[in-house]
Amino acid sequence: MPDRPTASPKTGAAGPSHQMWGGRFAAGPAAALDQLNRSLPVDHRLWPQDVSAARAWVGALGLAGVLDAEEVKLLAGGLERATERLAAGAAQDAPDEDVHTLVERLLYEAVGPVAGKLNTGRSRNDQVATDLRLWTRDTLAELDAGIAALGQALCAQAADGVDLLLPGYTHGQRAQPVRWGYVLLAHAWPLTRDRARLAQAADRLSELPLGSGAVAGSGIPVDRERLARELGFARVAPNALDATGDRDFVAECLFGLTLLATHVSRLAGELATYASAEFGFIRLADEFCTGSSLLPQKRNPDVLELARAKAARTLADLVGLLGTLKGLPAGYSKDLQEDKTYLFDAVDTMAVVLPAVRGAVATLRPVPERMRAALDPSLLATDLADGLVLRGVPFREAHGLVGRLVKAAEELGAPVSAVPGVRAAAIHPAIPDLLASLGDWEASVERRATAGGSSREAVGRQLRELQVLFGRPAAPVT
Amino acid sequence: MPDRPTASPKTGAAGPSHQMWGGRFAAGPAAALDQLNRSLPVDHRLWPQDVSAARAWVGALGLAGVLDAEEVKLLAGGLERATERLAAGAAQDAPDEDVHTLVERLLYEAVGPVAGKLNTGRSRNDQVATDLRLWTRDTLAELDAGIAALGQALCAQAADGVDLLLPGYTHGQRAQPVRWGYVLLAHAWPLTRDRARLAQAADRLSELPLGSGAVAGSGIPVDRERLARELGFARVAPNALDATGDRDFVAECLFGLTLLATHVSRLAGELATYASAEFGFIRLADEFCTGSSLLPQKRNPDVLELARAKAARTLADLVGLLGTLKGLPAGYSKDLQEDKTYLFDAVDTMAVVLPAVRGAVATLRPVPERMRAALDPSLLATDLADGLVLRGVPFREAHGLVGRLVKAAEELGAPVSAVPGVRAAAIHPAIPDLLASLGDWEASVERRATAGGSSREAVGRQLRELQVLFGRPAAPVT
Amino acid sequence: MPDRPTASPKTGAAGPSHQMWGGRFAAGPAAALDQLNRSLPVDHRLWPQDVSAARAWVGALGLAGVLDAEEVKLLAGGLERATERLAAGAAQDAPDEDVHTLVERLLYEAVGPVAGKLNTGRSRNDQVATDLRLWTRDTLAELDAGIAALGQALCAQAADGVDLLLPGYTHGQRAQPVRWGYVLLAHAWPLTRDRARLAQAADRLSELPLGSGAVAGSGIPVDRERLARELGFARVAPNALDATGDRDFVAECLFGLTLLATHVSRLAGELATYASAEFGFIRLADEFCTGSSLLPQKRNPDVLELARAKAARTLADLVGLLGTLKGLPAGYSKDLQEDKTYLFDAVDTMAVVLPAVRGAVATLRPVPERMRAALDPSLLATDLADGLVLRGVPFREAHGLVGRLVKAAEELGAPVSAVPGVRAAAIHPAIPDLLASLGDWEASVERRATAGGSSREAVGRQLRELQVLFGRPAAPVT
Amino acid sequence: MPDRPTASPKTGAAGPSHQMWGGRFAAGPAAALDQLNRSLPVDHRLWPQDVSAARAWVGALGLAGVLDAEEVKLLAGGLERATERLAAGAAQDAPDEDVHTLVERLLYEAVGPVAGKLNTGRSRNDQVATDLRLWTRDTLAELDAGIAALGQALCAQAADGVDLLLPGYTHGQRAQPVRWGYVLLAHAWPLTRDRARLAQAADRLSELPLGSGAVAGSGIPVDRERLARELGFARVAPNALDATGDRDFVAECLFGLTLLATHVSRLAGELATYASAEFGFIRLADEFCTGSSLLPQKRNPDVLELARAKAARTLADLVGLLGTLKGLPAGYSKDLQEDKTYLFDAVDTMAVVLPAVRGAVATLRPVPERMRAALDPSLLATDLADGLVLRGVPFREAHGLVGRLVKAAEELGAPVSAVPGVRAAAIHPAIPDLLASLGDWEASVERRATAGGSSREAVGRQLRELQVLFGRPAAPVT
């Protein structure tokens, strides 16, 4: 990435006063280390969470008697002013090592040396774990809305597409006639699983790390239950060594995002196929097509191609995190600093992909005549076989008989329905009658009337259920 | 792998009668295709599930009026005999294309042509999805017991290790004194998350695909709700196109296994470090060590190294599956056949890793004197800083003062407690007093008494909670 | 995988005599450790290499004076007999820990206690590195032939397809007319890069580890240069610690296989698209199609789908190995035992994929009329723009003008060539003339006559070059 | 990442004049598409390459007679001015879709409508492939220098460390005494392989795509051989469809970076272990340590931990790219736009890691007394066994005898050298004598005098060879 966050030419300006440590070092960190080590270009976006946690911690230190009322007030006010400066862009190009140092510096600039009392009994190890859990929790809520919106777009298209028939495909080959709405809903259901999975991840991550100190718990007797309630966590993390080294929640979130991206990739890939001249089942809206720099006639489905590709990017982020965690001991190792790069990248990716694909879905137009034209008579083969079964022919035998009919049709270069009666009857005497009574495509689709099938009624039931699901937040787990 | 399942020299013997299709082909599949295509060497282990689903399907066809009572009885009996042959090893080196074809052939050999009625209204697409969900469900239950057993071994060691003190590490460096039991429990808590995650995956996969047909639902009006109950599924899969192409449950299971493997890898890596001569904190039991072919004195922690490495293998399996799914349309594509290779490999891996690591944990012996010897006085630095804070010095300042003390000690080549009073007092007048009153390691550990900390009471509470959790199955989600 | 190699029920039978260590252990390794630790089910296929290396080592020990002439003869004869037994299947279900132990045991059974002299100055660390390099070297040569054979099949089809015109696609959309032979050759060129890359990997791995001992070099003064020549290595590994812990050659080979698999995946995916009813550009031979268990009319391109999917499997193997290596110190760690699982799996995968895809390519038939039918007039848009450019219109402007013509044609529902002259002239006065003089598709293709273009001459040149390249082994690097 | 490049709030300002297409669209691209589609935030750093290629193309169009001399001069001058603006920061926050559009716009602003002639016969498909190959070629040269510099730092430390003895480790356990210089060189050799591999990648990517057009070759008869020479490419890409869709060079470069990062990760992990208090073999310089925000005494090896972690990041980039390529047809698909994100990230990562690790290596100090203290007598076990072998005991038997001696020593809680003579002689009569004559550690190390071993002479030879290799650029392949 162009303005690679971990490398900042401005770093050189960072004086020792901007670091939380350094008392015992004869020399400042080398520039090369600093380039590698500084995380502010990545973690600065955690400042709202860092300030929230700081505010709660000040309160907890007050209740624990470490700060007096005056100091609590002073520090709370200072955090207020730091927040204003941060909201106005103070994190931009700041020289600090990381977001925690940045907030402490701004506090210092607001209230002077008493700022040095803020981090009593805290470590960056429990701070960053707290900040990132807060950020992830809020992000998952926004993401849930974005997934639901894509689901609603699919439902809206599906509602308009219940009457449109096209081939259903397996192995990329025409298999049986289905409804266009049914195909779209097959891509909507996975989104409901994504939402449930991410909601459970959000529930599981709701554990407060703050008060874990660096490795062994805090030496200050703060009331962690109260802290948890104040910051909106469901529980207190039960082991401080685990709490500071645990990045399961990042992995789980990345996995949820990757599976979501995979679903979107499958949808996008299928739509791209349907948008080709050869299929021609759908037409993307002009505002969701791009053109070619060389070929004036092109209408390229870039949005779908990029959405298809992004599943590899979220997978890459997941691999990066899991590859990092392997073999590390419990507790904090600096390797864990990489977690945010992966998480932010995957979240940002889906924050761009979801609206783009939702827009493409919402604005595409089906082309009913092309769909209908793709329904060739061989798609009735299963109906024929089923007809034979109902007349007592074992299915496996019926399957073979119809296979021979298809072969005969191919040799004639004609649809199965045009195989001469004599020849058809030679394969099985019931076939001519069955061919005559197969009815139209609609009849064929309606024969698949089991729950989950592609009949009008079965599709309608799915649609109503999904509209309800996408109309509300993912169910909380309680 | 040596006897690579996808390549079987016996394949050539497979005649057309062992395939579920072929009526329309002039020539049999080429040997090269067969080598690539045949899945029996991998999927044969699904035969119990395939038979269960077949049995339920026969009942459903009977209720739907497609089979008469006589046929139902005949087929049920035939499946009984097929089961006996399979239990006796009939799947071994069988020539069939896949497990479904194998079962159908055995049924045919038991009851003759009526066997051809078994697959009326079914497709291998919904069959394999059903079989694999059944298998995964049962596997997750076994796995849960295996994780709990490892958790119990950690708890047992932790219970014995509450009194043992050693350094807690961050960045691989000694940080603060902690209890050995506390360190072990930091590796036990992640297992509780693994179990919860896999239990939710098990719940989510409990959807019946059977009755979905190939792509569009079954043309036979079977009662899918009844089928679901009979096979122990919680719900009917709501869209047949989704149901036949969905492998989310495989991905979710693979992710759960990978995170579990990562936790075991972190535990194993940490124990391997402690088992080194330089740390010497633990000694593996003889029966969990291996020797060297060249170096007679070696006691190698192979079990830990292999356990550490296996997290890469489960991750590889996850990458393989997710890489396969990306960009595929809804519904069945042959690419999905790869799912079982990844899932079986990851499950088999953990089925070997968990008991081995459990055994290593259960039989290791801590070496208290080595642990104690590693507690050097600099580990009291935070206590010193906390002491200054309680005398009103802002933490950041106290941190700097103690840093200077540590540096002074280093220059003297002595522990901080041995810095002469004059020099210490020059850094801060309160330091000599504080140094005198720090007390022993036990006192230091007990100062970390917040919930989740390493004090005796906090560790005891964790231990009791975990013993309860590992004593019962992972909570079902209802 | 069903018969998972790492778990063998027969393991229990392994007595201490089958292990190369154990003198110092009170108890034998626990069964759980054995299940995890035993590598024979995976590494048994290295026996030919292990025997070759043993034979060379015996000679080297003789020259070093550690064995006398009698012993050399005895051991060489014993290895001969061991080879016979191994060739007859002695590795099958053997109880030994690994292939090295197996060979030593067979030697012992052949010659008695003098067998114990074989491994003087050797360690399994340098043995396994030597065996695996030998195996990989031979495997890469076989693989090279397999890739060349696929390349030849592509060339043969391309030679037949120079006259066939079809659309060339970008973004999955028709772009410009090209030759069918040209498309096929676009998939052949990447194979030449694969071969060059793997040949360089083969050259780079040609370093002898034998004589490195366990970690520090061998204590026996063997002549390693001579050993290298005897075993066909180009060089002696220059640092024994590096030589025993280096698995770069496995990673490089896995990467080469993954990129090869990716190329085959791209070819397979494109052919699968062309084999769909909607494109219909090619027809797979019956012997390379599979059918459906439910749908009698289906001709599924399973071979192409599986080949497409396998790129994820080789990628998984690569991720597994690289994930294993990360963070390990130099020298041998047991984690490295996993290397063979990944390498063998990837090699076996491509050993099945290459012939299957080669067969599918060799036997497919193009469908010229469907290709020709897909050439719609908008594909001449670039020619039109180029025509305007030759009349002095800046390209960017010409691009815009032709874009407007395309839009006009679309509004009329007609090809660009049917836009009325008045309307066309209103866009640019030269357009009607240009439209009249565009000529046929052949003329359009021939206009792309730069080197590497799709003109007949340019394609012919490529074809001749590739036929030469695929007719001989990948160039050795010297 | 915080300022995520693909999402720019300024995008809205992009008018149609900044896009290379758009003539046929009724509506502009939706903002959501634009967010996903715009690549300038990533690809802007290719502007020097884009300008170079443009300059060469102008010349080629002139020679082909498409531009007259005046136009050539005008455009060349315009590119000059565009370059000045770009060098002054014109790419920063520019509103254009991508770098090609940016350059064309600046050219337009410099010379007016004639700028529209620049892209005659070019497509962004061949442009971006050309730009990225140019960028990668130059980057690989810089990277080579960075790797060599790390290698030199290792050699310098190794030269100082030839006399220092410490245990060599296998399985994380002490195995045999070795030289510190020897250990460092074991990490230097892999870097020579990295350089050779990347040099071959650089050679292989030296093929000119320019002149390939969008898919079928250029319609303008430019002299591609001449273009290749001018831009410094060794060859002309032989098939335009392959040339526009090929990203092998990106994959190969990413793999080379990942293996390099893996080597650095192994080095960093090993150094981090040696920097622990328990090993204490090395001490990092103050300027390459970081401190703790809570623990005043900490000296954390963050640089090593981050370097260890980054191998997961480059692996992630590789997975992302390969996951993207799989299954794509030949030629350009928009998915390929993702290539730069992965490549830039991996290159930028190593550009920060290499100097940081080089600095850490150059400034670390070995602690000879700690190294020496870790040499415990059991490390002489192999020497003992070798001694028995030289007295005619078969190695396997000698191994067992020494194992018994080690066990006896352990039971006594004493070193092997302190086992009473009677007891030692009971194991084998020659042992007491051998124990007496083993000599010191230096003697033991010198016994490993085979090529590649840890004797002084063998290490010296390696060192001289490496100093030469790291003193010059990686050998070009010709």
- Nearest-Cα distance to chain D for B172, in Å, is 6
Q: Does C39 touch chain D (CB under 8 A)?
A: no
Task: Give the one of D298, D302, D399 whose C-beta lies nearest to B175's C-beta.
Answer: D298
The mean of the pLDDT values for chain C is: 91
Residue type, A359: G
Across chain B, what does the average pLDDT equal? 91
- Least Cα distance to C179 among C429, C468, C456 occurs for C456
Of B128-142, B374-388, D133-147, least confident by mean pLDDT is: B374-388
pLDDT at B247: 98
A122 touches D: beta carbon within 8 Å: yes
Q: What percent of chain A stands above pLDDT 90?
A: 77
Tell me which chain C residues have a C-beta less than 8 angstroms from the C-beta of A174: 277
Distance from CA of A357 to the nearest CA of D (A): 8
Identify from C195, C242, C386 which residue to disrupt to test chain D contact, counting D C-beta atoms within 10 A and taking the largest count. C242
* pLDDT tens per residue across span B391-450: 889 888 898 899 899 888 888 888 888 889 899 999 999 999 998 888 789 999 999 998
Average pLDDT over residues C371-384: 89
Checking if the pLDDT of A294 tops 80, the result is no
Shortest Cα distance, chain C CAs vs residue B471, angstroms: 22
CA distance A325 to D164: 34
Residues of A in contact with D313 (CB under 8 A): 320, 324, 338, 341
- The answer, yes or no, to whether residue B276 has pLDDT greater than 90, is yes
Condensed to tens digits (0 to 9), the pLDDT of residues A223-263 reads 999 999 999 999 999 999 999 999 999 999 999 999 999 99
Whether B292 is catalytic is: yes
List of chains touching B (3+ CB pairs within 8 A): A, C, D
User: Over the stretch C297-328, which tens digit does the pLDDT of each residue have?
Assistant: 778 999 999 999 999 999 999 999 999 999 99
Residue among D168, D396, D448 minimizing CB distance to C119: D396
Kind plus residue range of the DSSP H or E element containing C432: helix C431-437
- Name the residue facing B278 among D175, D279, D292 (closest C-beta): D279
The rounded percent of chain B whose pLDDT value lies above 70 is: 93
pLDDT number for residue A3: 33
C293:A399 CB<8 A: yes
Q: Give the pLDDT of residue B20.
A: 62
Set of chain B residues whose Cβ sits within 8 Å of the Cβ of C299: 24
pLDDT at C3 over 80: no
For A320, nearest residue in chain B (alpha carbons) = B315
Subunits in contact with chain C (3 or more CB pairs closer than 8 Å): A, B, D
**Residue A289 or C26, more confident:** A289
Q: Which of C20, C214, C239 sits opposite D176 (nearest CB)?
A: C214
Indicate yes or no: CB of C265 within 8 angstroms of CB of D240. Answer: no
Chain B stretch 416-435, residues whose beta carbon is closer than 8 A to a beta carbon of chain D: 416
- Whether the predicted pLDDT of A1 surpasses 50: no
Please check the confidence at residue C26 and state whether its pLDDT lies above 60: no
Q: Rounded to 5 degrees, what are φ and ψ at D365? A: -120, 125
List, as ranges, residues 245-264 from D with C-beta within 8 Å of A: none
- Residue B369 contacts residue B408 (beta carbons within 8 Å): no
Which tokens belong to B449? 């008494």
For the stretch A365-398, pLDDT in tens is 999 999 999 998 888 888 888 889 888 898 888 9
Angle CA A128–A131–A136, to nearest 5: 120
- Pick the residue from chain C with its C-alpha nearest to D266: C327
Nearest CA in chain A to B124: A170
Note whether B374 contacts D: Cβ–Cβ < 8 A.
Answer: yes
A116/B396 Cβ within 8 A: yes
Q: Is the model's pLDDT at B478 over the cut of 50?
A: no
- The active-site residue out of D292, D378, D417, D428 is D292
pLDDT band at C23 (very low <50, low <70, confident <90, very high): low
pTM given for the model: 0.95
Q: pLDDT tens digit string along B277-286?
A: 999 999 999 8
- Among C102, B78, D346, residue whose Cα is nearest residue A320: D346
Does the CB of A478 have a partner CB in chain B at under 8 Å? no
- Average pLDDT over chain D, rounded to whole? 91
What pLDDT sits at residue C423?
92
Nearest to C278 among A170, A301, A374 (CB): A374
8 Å CB contact of C239 and D189: yes
D residues 136-165 lying closer than 8 A (beta carbon) to C: none
- CB nearest C451 (choices: D113, D224, D390): D224
SS3 A274: helix
pLDDT at D5: 37
More confident: C440 or A298: C440
Provide the pLDDT for residue A20. Answer: 62
Asked whether the predicted pLDDT for residue A475 surpasses 70, the reply is no
- Note the pLDDT of residue C291: 79
- The Cα C284–Cα C302 span in angstroms is 11
Residue C212 falls in the annotated catalytic set: no
Q: Is B286 on the interface with D (CB under 8 A)?
A: no
Considering the candidates C17, C276, C292, C437, report the single residue annotated as catalytic.
Answer: C292
Mean pLDDT, chain D cut into blocks of 10 residues (478 residues total): 33 40 58 91 97 98 95 98 97 94 97 94 96 97 96 98 97 96 98 98 98 94 96 98 98 98 98 97 91 79 97 98 97 98 97 96 97 91 87 88 88 86 93 87 92 96 97 68
Q: Which of the following is catalytic: B123, B292, B333, B454? A: B292
Q: Which helix (H) or strand (E) holds A81?
A: helix A69-87
D window 292-321, beta carbon within 8 A of A: 292-303, 305-313, 315-317, 319-321
